[in-house]
Amino acid sequence: MPIVELHVLEGYGPEDKRRLGEALTDAVRFVVPAPPEAITVMIHEMPTEDYYRGRTQRSGAPALPDPKELVHSYLAAMEARDLPAATAMLGEGFVMQFPGAAPMTELQELIDWAAPRYRFVTKTYEGFDAMQSEGAPALVYCRGTLAGEWPHGTAFEGIRFIDRFEVNGGKITRQDVWNDIAEVKGKA
């Protein structure tokens, strides 16, 4: 039964601690073949007045937003065509790549590119997966199916998709999209 002890400065809320506990449990499971209920995570808080680094009393950094929740909120804003809300979630140097398209850096480019391809698209999510590697952005994959309407008004559904996002500093900096829309449209 693995036991992980973590010391954090006080000030992190219950949601931040829940996310830490889940992330540490998942990290242990990458190496140790243990079910989640066999892994114990203990989080100890340290008062900030007891923390020094470089002879200076310091405070902890605020928790980053959950990258899965950030991506889900972004996708919801895009589906609602709330471009200002979606744009607010994007970081400097944002780029997105869709099948058969040149890289795009502005959300309006995507809207314009998609206009002759379909009237609208909605997503049904099967899951979101997030991971972090040393020195790299957080990665979020979401997967599921697309439904919508072709330009001539015929409905479609059940088209597989996977989106990959890079999240740096709580902002989305890259989106890569893979889906079967061209294959299904070719048969429509």
Buried b / exposed e over 95-114, threshold 16 CB at 10 Å, is ebebeeeeebeebeebeeeb
- Grade residue 69 by pLDDT with cuts at 50, 70 and 90: very high
**Which pTM value belongs to this model?**
0.86
The set of long-range contacts for 16-21, using a CB threshold of 8 Å and a minimum separation of 24, is 16/63, 17/43, 19/63, 19/66
Instruction: Give the pLDDT confidence score for residue 56 in this predicted structure.
Output: 86
Give tens-digit pLDDT for 11-50.
899 999 999 999 999 999 989 999 999 999 999 998 888 7
Domains annotated on the chain, with CATH:
3-50 (3.30.429.10), 67-187 (3.10.450.50)
